[in-house]
């Protein structure tokens, strides 16, 4: 009976399947329990809870683990969420074995939270630059010609492709971070990784510029006569600075966001009003 009780209380090993399940829980619950004081920590705890229950059989240790993973947390879905989910699974497993074997606890609460806090902001910046600033615009650029032709694929392709991409990338990062444990932190600081991130960030800026230049159609209808010859303003602009009006429009919206925050509806109303006035006066 004693041996059976000991086996029941024994720490269970975390498998790749457990980590996959944890990431999927994080992925699909990411923004649902969003709160002001903890931000996305409830989502992380929801993701980690099956793993914590496998690791900690003592109620006090389990409660402590829950509290540890419920501290303030905020990061990007795939890069931050994937890496940190896998990394926390690895670190909690190490701590559980230290508790079980009555060893000195080197995997302290402070160490785990400081690791998480140090990574969540940096990885969020990387993930936003690559996923939101680059990859999604590549999918949109591919699909815009289909949308212009009236095909539903133009609307569905970016949405479905980006969703699949994020799921695959997040699963990959969570599994790799679990395998590497704390070494995953040093990997993200590697110079080659940083060069790739920098390249993709620049590529994202190019993609946004290409989309604006090709698909924002604004032109001036102003003309004037000089010495009996008619001059068309748009033709002059095209010879000097092609695409200047779409560029000014994009930069104007960007400056609006910089000053007023990401208020899309307000920006659309202002932009529509300005364009209506310019069109009514014959400037555009």
User: Is residue 56 located within the same domain as residue 114?
Assistant: yes
- pLDDT (0 to 100) of residue 52: 93
User: Is residue 196 located within the same domain as residue 226?
Assistant: no
Query: Given CA atoms 126, 131, 133, 134 in this order, what sign does their dihedral have?
Result: positive
Residue 6 lies in a domain: no
Residue 163: domain span: 11-211
User: Is residue 248 located within the same domain as residue 161?
Assistant: no
Residue 4 lies in a domain: no
Final residue in a domain of this structure, among 211, 243, 265? 211
Residue 86 lies in a domain: yes
- C-alpha gyration radius of the chain: 26
- pLDDT (0 to 100) of residue 190: 52
Residue 267: exposure state from Cβ atoms within 10 A (0-12, 13-18, ≥19): middle
Q: Look at the block and give the residue holding tokens 């936003």.
A: 128
224 phi, psi to nearest 5 deg? -150, 155
Residue 3 lies in a domain: no
Task: Divide the 284 residues of the chain into consecutive groups of 10 and give the mean pLDDT of each group.
Answer: 52 88 93 82 93 91 91 89 91 87 83 81 81 84 86 89 93 89 54 57 63 69 70 74 78 80 75 79 72
User: Is residue 125 located within the same domain as residue 203?
Assistant: yes
User: Is residue 127 located within the same domain as residue 196?
Assistant: yes
> What's the rounded Cα separation, in Å, for the pair 120 and 98?
26
Beta bridge partners of 225: 230
What is the distance, to the nearest Å, from the Cα of residue 224 to the centroid of all Cα atoms in its chain? 49
As given in the structure block, the two tokens for residue 80 are 């931050």
In total, how many domains does the chain have? 2
Are 39 and 56 in contact, with CB atoms under 8 Å apart? no
Residue 126 lies in a domain: yes
- pLDDT (0 to 100) of residue 208: 63
- DSSP per position, the chain: -HHHHHHHHSPPPP-HHHHHHHHHHHHHHTTTT-BTTTBTHHHHHHHHHHHHHHH--SHHHHHHHHHHHTS-B---TTHHHHHHHHHHHHHHHHHHHHHHTT----S-HHHHHHHHHHHHHHHHHHHIIIIIIIIHHHHHHHHHHHHHTT-THHHHHHHHHHHHHHHHHHHHHHHHHHHHTTHHHHHHT-HHHHHHHHHHHHHHHHHHHHHHHHH-------EEEETTEEEEHHHHHHHHSTTHHHHHHHHHHHHHHHHH-S-HHHHHHHHHHHHHHHHHTT--
């Amino acid at each position: 009976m004693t041996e059976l009780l000991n086996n029941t209380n024994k720490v269970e090993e975390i498998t790749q399947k457990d980590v996959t399940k944890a990431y999927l829980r994080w992925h699909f619950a990411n923004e649902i329990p969003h709160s002001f004081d903890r931000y996305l920590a409830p989502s992380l705890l929801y993701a980690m809870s099956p793993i914590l229950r496998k690791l900690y059989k003592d109620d006090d240790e389990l409660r402590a683990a829950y509290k540890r993973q419920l501290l303030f947390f905020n990061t990007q879905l795939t890069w931050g969420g994937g890496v940190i989910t896998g990394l926390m699974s690895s670190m909690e497993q190490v701590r559980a074995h230290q508790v079980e074997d009555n060893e000195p606890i080197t995997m302290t609460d402070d160490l785990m939270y400081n690791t998480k806090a140090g990574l969540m902001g940096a990885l969020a910046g990387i993930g936003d630059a690559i996923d939101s600033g680059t990859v999604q615009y590549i999918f949109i650029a591919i699909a815009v010609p289909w949308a212009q032709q009236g095909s539903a694929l133009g609307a569905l392709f970016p949405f479905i492709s980006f969703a699949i991409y994020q799921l695959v990338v997040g699963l990959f990062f969570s599994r790799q971070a679990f395998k590497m444990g704390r070494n995953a932190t040093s990997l993200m600081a590697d110079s080659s990784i940083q060069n790739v991130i920098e390249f993709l960030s620049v590529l994202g800026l190019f993609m946004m510029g290409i989309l604006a230049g090709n698909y924002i159609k604004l032109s001036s209808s102003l003309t004037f006569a000089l010495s009996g010859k008619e001059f068309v303003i748009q033709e002059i602009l095209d010879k000097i600075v092609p695409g200047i009006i779409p560029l000014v429009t994009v930069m104007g919206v960007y400056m609006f966001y910089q000053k007023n925050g990401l208020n899309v509806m307000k920006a659309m109303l202002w932009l529509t009003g300005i364009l209506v006035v310019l069109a009514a006066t014959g400037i555009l």
